[in-house]
Amino acid sequence: MYDLIVLGGGPGGYVAGIKASQLGMKVAIIEKNKYGGVCLNVGCIPTKTMLKSARLFSDMLEAEKFGIDIDGSFNINWENVINRKDGVVNKLVAGVEFLLKKNKIDMFNGLGNVIDKNTVEVNGEKIVCKNLLICTGSNARIPEIEGTKEALEKGYLMTSTEILKIKEIPKKLTIIGGGVIGVEFAILFATLGTKVSIIQRSGRILDALDKDVIKEITEVLDEKNVEIIYNANTKYIGNGYINYISNEKKVKLEGDKVLVCIGRVPNLKEIKNLNLEIERGAIKTNNRMETSVNGVYAAGDVNGIMQLAHVASHEGVIAVENMFGGDEKIDYNKAPYCIYTFPEVAGVGLTESKAKKQYPNEIKISKFPLSVNGKALAEGEEKGFVKIIATKKYNEVIGVHIVASHATDMISEMVTIMELEGTAREITRAIHPHPTMSEAVVESALGIVDRAIHI
């Protein structure tokens, strides 16, 4: 009898398993593929590894402006880019397996079928538990467009999984969907010289983000000659082309490959016997990570709330702590998002539009540009800003959005401030080192409480 069976070894599952073992639980974890889940194997880590190669290539193209002359030609060795990506992934997967073994967690490799809330079958063996944590993750959503099946079989249409193994850099790439994944791949391949077109159903990309972030990244894509086709619906995927309709006009768009990035679908097949409450195609959980069945918890993409690896890990830990009689809850408003474009994007809390709805006439907004930040200018990274949204009454920070070369690292300070219900004045009282891009955070905070100094 296990205290906990974890179904799925992704960032939610393996972190939860380790935490449970640390608390004294007897734990089993079941994984049908590789440990680390989508994020480590075919998501966050491989894409960021490849983006690093693209960023280095981009920097080399601009070396002259930094006073460096490069004699002779240099080229992308795509095979080596892929090999490096695979090496990084394999090293981290091995690290996860090592940690699971070190924490004395029983590891079952195979497909786990849930018989009931206390019993899971894997490789013909039935194992039982007191608590069950479902971390079965998600798969890329496949559109219901004519020609999709044939295009997938021929390799012309790809998801974010297949494109990580592509044999050569496409000359022309069509991306269906202008969300985070689509935009990251657009930046990656456009930087490497691919002609990229994004087919976007609505009137703007990254639709859920702050309007200033959308404006800035749209400009970045435009500078890289990425074509964004707005208010367009793909109607047919052929062999080497797609047909879409925009403004009531039917258009044929040719290209080497098509990448579909229209979201992810939770994996629910193996847990159907539990008859869990499902909401919008995902397992419904409360903020304690409890499902509709007592003793069954769910974390990560499978609950469909925020499909982010760091959120999955946090959810997994909260689930385990509540199994121990705790009363831990997750506040999704304080969960940051990150986009690894050039420059990067990161944010936490409310967007400007949501803040205005939630706090009518009760907010302050301060936006400080990196174009006057010393470190940004020294590094040639002056594109971007730090935007803070706070309440008028207490100057409490309720939203932060950053576009900067190190935005994904800079946002952690703001997450901590919001977790502590901190104010903009408290940010200004903290001494930030010079020269750093984090000084833009202080300047933006000064704009909330009084006036920024360096503008």
Catalytic residues: 434
Angstrom distance (rounded) from CA 347 to CA 387: 9
Q: Which residues sit opposite 303 in a β-bridge?
A: none
Give the list of residues 6+ apart from residue 38 with CB closer than 8 angstroms, or none.
10, 137, 138, 301
Give the list of residues 6+ apart from residue 119 with CB closer than 8 angstroms, or none.
126, 127, 128, 129
- Say if residues 164 and 46 touch (Cβ distance below 8 Å): yes
Distances in whole angstroms, Cα of residue 186 to Cα of each of 152, 225, 260, 317, 449: 20, 10, 12, 34, 38
> Which long-range CB contacts under 8 A does 449-453 form with residues at least 24 apart?
449/395, 449/424, 449/425, 452/366, 452/368
CB burial class (10 A; 0-12, 13-18, 19+) of residue 447?
Answer: buried
- Half-sphere exposure (CA, 13 Å, Cβ side) for 243? 9
Of residues 305, 350, 265, 274, the one with CA closest to residue 119: 274
- Say if residues 184 and 344 touch (Cβ distance below 8 Å): no
